[in-house]
Amino acid sequence: MTATAQIPGYVAGTWDIDTVHSDIQFTVRHMGVGKSRGRFGAFQGEIVTSADPLESTVTATIDTASIDTGNADRDAHVRNADFLDAEQFPTATFRSTGVRQDGEDFVIDGEFTLHGVTKPVSLETELGGFTEDGLLGLSGKVVLNRTDFGVGPAGGALVGEKITITLDIEAKLRG
């Protein structure tokens, strides 16, 4: 059985991420005991679903200055040169390099560029499905080591090195 046969209502096409109905959140350890959470409010992207789902592609861009942790002082600190350096590196980008099936779910392999550094990443993805009126939904998760991208000090005593990014995406079919 092909991957398409296992996806009810599957539609091949080009989809634009609906930023009103999508969310990019992150979680990072704070002081080794708690967790700090936040989100990015400005992003865009395109999903191209191919006739064979395993040949689909994803591209996305995040405005690093759009970080929101619920605390203006912390946001300003994370935007500055100590961490994201949003003035010098205004965007983070993802470009898929492959899609593979993992049981009922998918893994989207790709290249993530942050702080001027590009590294391979694998996004664990759960397909929410397709609607008859041209919506696609999916959720995803990836764990990154911020120091691999040259973000913030190494050591993780104040801010953990591992950052979990979760995505809840709705996209609209173009056309």
Does residue 43 fall inside a structural domain? Answer: yes
Q: 51: domain range?
A: 4-135+159-173
Phi, psi of 55, rounded to the nearest 5 degrees: -105, 10
pLDDT digits (tens, 9 = 90+) for 67-102: 999 999 999 999 999 899 999 999 999 999 999 999
| pLDDT for the residue 58 | 97
Q: What is the mean pLDDT of residues 142-166?
A: 87
Token match 């959140």: residue? 25
Does residue 149 fall inside a structural domain? Answer: no
Does residue 40 fall inside a structural domain? Answer: yes
Q: What is the mean pLDDT of residues 18-36?
A: 90
Does residue 140 fall inside a structural domain? Answer: no
CATH code of the domain covering residue 34? 2.40.128.110
C-alpha 31/C-alpha 55 separation (Å) is: 42
Length of the chain in terms of residues written: 175
Q: How far apart are the first and last CA of the chain?
A: 30
C-alpha 9/C-alpha 102 separation (Å) is: 19
Total domains in the chain come to 1
| pLDDT for the residue 3 | 57
> What residue type is assigned to position 152 of the chain?
G
Does residue 169 fall inside a structural domain? Answer: yes
| pLDDT for the residue 1 | 36
pTM value is: 0.92
Contact predicate 146/165, CB 8 Å: no
Does residue 51 fall inside a structural domain? Answer: yes
- When pLDDT is cut at 50, 70 and 90, the band that residue 157 belongs to is low
Does residue 126 fall inside a structural domain? Answer: yes
Does residue 66 fall inside a structural domain? Answer: yes
Q: What is the mean pLDDT of residues 129-139?
A: 94
pLDDT digits (tens, 9 = 90+) for 56-72: 999 999 999 999 999 99
